[in-house]
Chains A and B, each alone.
Chain A
Amino acid sequence: ETGVTQSPTHLIKTRGQQVTLRCSSQSGHNTVSWYQQALGQGPQFIFQYYREEENGRGNFPPRFSGLQFPNYSSELNVNALELDDSALYLCASSSVDTQYFGPGTRLTVL
């Protein structure tokens, strides 16, 4: 196993609600990246955090935001949920260029 953990494993929300997803990185990894994977698609990069600062962002609107804490764990927050936000949300931790993924949080928006 990678040592990357995510919570919760599954979540059901309704449109307009807000959600917070959590990720604990592998020991020794100071970088966390978040991805969204819709059914039948590859993961799409949302953003990355390095030492508590956003280090890069993909093509996602501002209602997707994040945090990284001093212990390198991270949160992904999504406001004003839309039906299309239903997906598997993956976090990956890394120390160099290889990223190791957690099991993901499956979000369903009704």
Chain B
Amino acid sequence: RKEVEQDPGPFNVPEGATVAFNCTYSNSASQSFFWYRQDCRKEPKLLMSVYSSGNEDGRFTAQLNRASQYISLLIRDSKLSDSATYLCVVNLNDYKLSFGAGTTVTVRA
């Protein structure tokens, strides 16, 4: 079983729509959680950390469910610039980040 699994999508949504997707992780001892954004042929960039209490950054909301071992990301009022691959990332220990394969989101005009 993969350490981090994501729905690859693609999610095709119109501008202004809300889109949400999850990822699941296999190791219950995982310590910290992140969403990274990756544009085509570019490096991953940190979008937000994910906390147990849930957190929001503008139009982006992340939730962590430790009991069910899943993480979610919700994007409200989608913009064209939100089109990217969103990588779910789990920190298993002090040094290793485990990445999902990514969820592709395309926002259309």
Question: Footprint of B on A, CB under 8 Å?
Answer: 2, 31, 33, 35, 40-45, 48, 50, 55-56, 58, 88, 90, 92, 97-104, 106
Contacts and interface: CB of A to CB of B under 8 A. Distances in A.
A33 B41 CA distance: 19
Given A56-B95, A56-B96, A101 B34 contact: no
Contacts of A102: 43
B45 A48 contact: no
Interface SS, A side? strand
Given A98-B46, A101-B43, A43 B95 contact: no
Interface residues of B, number: 23
Contacts of A43: 44, 87, 97, 99
Contacts of B46: 98-100
Nearest to B95: A56
A48 B95 contact: yes
A90 B43 CA distance: 7
B1 to A, nearest CB: 15
Given A56-B93, A97-B32, A44 B43 contact: no
